[in-house]
Amino acid sequence: MDLTPRTATEPGAQPPVRKRRWLPIVIVVGALLGGGVIVTQFLTSAIDYYCNVDEIGVRSGCDGERRMRVQGVVEQDSVKQADGGTTFILDFNKKTLQVAYSGDPGGVFQECIPIIAHGRMVDGVFESDRIEVKHSNQYVEKNATRIDESNKEAAACSVLQG
């Protein structure tokens, strides 16, 4: 038995055929596509525009059905709970916005306090899925004037309530 390698010059010898391995290529392409989708979704959800109630429909980024954060003061006597949800009116600079929150905001949520509602506009109502009542120190540093304006609105509401 001859175990010496054949050369291409031998009669009847054919060059070895390289089989392409498709499974690893398909797995790598699938992983890249999946990673791209995840990164795109993460970046899209991270871009929530920040708007005051009076900027809705006026300022760029504060219109349409895009996801955004809206700041305002919960109007006195506007909080109503029904069917597992909460509706209320946000007020800022004499403009109002109807908000529908899915669930009970709980915590320190109450009338006449500034809040930030996360969600999107649907048929003229802001549908919120998250509410922030307390501002973080980092937010306070960057947005001191917004907070001052909001606190003035809340103080005016509290005076009306008392």
For the chain, what are the domain ranges? Answer: 48-161
* Residue 81 in this model has a pLDDT that exceeds 60: yes
Residue 162, CA distances (Å) to 74, 75, 139, 151, 156 in order: 15, 14, 30, 16, 10
Element spanning 28, H or E: helix 22-46
State residue 137's pLDDT score.
58
State residue 83's pLDDT score.
86
* Residue 57 in this model has a pLDDT that exceeds 90: no
Query: Is the separation of the CB atoms in 71 and 51 below 8 Å?
Result: yes
Q: pLDDT of 110-161, one tens digit each?
A: 888 889 999 988 998 999 998 888 655 555 666 677 777 777 777 777 565 5
CATH class held by domain 48-161: mainly beta
44-50 long-range CB contacts below 8 Å, 24 or more apart?
Answer: 48/118, 50/116
State residue 87's pLDDT score.
93
Query: Poorest-confidence range of 16-20, 51-55, 75-79, 116-120?
Result: 16-20
Model confidence, pTM: 0.59
